Amino acid sequence: MNELQVIRVTSDDEMRRALSVRRAVFTEEQGIDAAIEVDEHDGDPASVTTAVHMLGMLGDEPVAAARLLFGNGPPEEAHIGRVAVLAVHRGKGYGKALMEELHEIARRRRYDEIVLGAEATAVGFYERLGYVCEGEPYMHVGILHQDMRLKL
């Protein structure tokens, strides 16, 4: 089997591949409305300056995606979201690989913290990466979520 290649999305084709992973996980698997899953941070990577997208590839197959948002909160915070790994590839460290790349990008951009809204079923995954729960769980798009924070 091929080793996971983690790449920063820089082309329309790579963005389409990242969105295909998100569509499979969030829209098809979890039933989230496609109209709210994709937003203004998911456009042409050459012109969108509010996000960095990462894509996990096994050979020619996109298997994982995630994004880091800037300027979406206090100036010291970056926000990670839309972390998705295809169901058949979960538990192999692919999500962790993308998260570590996003953490490094946030450090290079001199952010002090990263925040995210974790699905309740993924809280343990984020805790293993050093995130700490904040506040009470809440419902978002019909799924229980928990706010979490990582100090860099």
Q: Supply the pLDDT for residue 75.
A: 75
Report d(CA 69, CA 72) in Å as an integer.
6
Q: Supply the pLDDT for residue 113.
A: 94
Report d(CA 13, CA 22) in Å as an integer.
14
The sign of the torsion formed by the CA atoms of 55, 58, 59, 60 equals: negative
> Phi and psi (nearest 5°) for 118?
-85, 140
Count Cβ atoms within 10 A of the Cβ of residue 143 and give its class: 0-12 exposed, 13-18 middle, 19 or more buried. Answer: middle
Mean pLDDT, consecutive 10-residue stretches, the chain (152 aa), reads 89 96 96 91 91 96 96 82 96 96 95 95 97 96 95 94
CATH topology for 4-151 is: Aminopeptidase (3.40.630)
Write down the pTM of the prediction: 0.93
Domain boundaries, the chain: 4-151
Task: Please choose, from the candidates 118, 120, 53, 58, the residue with its C-alpha nearest in 3D space to the C-alpha of residue 89.
Answer: 58
